[in-house]
A = this chain, B = another copy of it.
């Protein structure tokens, strides 16, 4: 091997804790750059691919979609992009997360109201939950 650190796709997958198919999928999506190939066509990854995979996974854990992660990655590559650009993406995401939380709080309150209206006794014909769902 020319590069002593080169990883085959299977090793990269084990390193990153993802499936081989996921790596190929990320490559198709443009999230991972196409690596060099051996003469027989095998992908060979350098160490930075591991960091790239970590970036993707961490970003996913923070609620970014693959498309948004792509956006973050290309922002990073563009000269002239500042830290403020990245921070604004983070703040947008915070806003979206807050909105989702509010939606879920509303749902939770509505469900809690219904559940407490139901004594839990009797047939379904008299269930206040079912009635509430039918009557808009």
Contacts and interface: CB of A to CB of B under 8 A. Distances in A.
Interface in A89-114: 90-91, 93-94, 97-98, 100-101, 104-105, 107-108, 110-112, 114
Interface stretch (A4-12, A23-31, A32-40, A76-84): A76-84
A119 interface: yes
A41 interface: no
Question: Which residue of A62, A83, A93 has the most chain B CB atoms within 10 A of its CB atom?
Answer: A83
Contact of A124 (B57, B76, B124): B76
B111 A75 contact: no
A2 interface: no
A115 B98 CA distance: 15
Place the interface of chain A in its size category: 35 or more
Contact of A58 (B83, B124, B133): B133
B107 A62 contact: yes
A6 to B, nearest CB: 20
A101 B112 CA distance: 15
A14 interface: no
Contact of A101 (B72, B90, B105, B130): B105
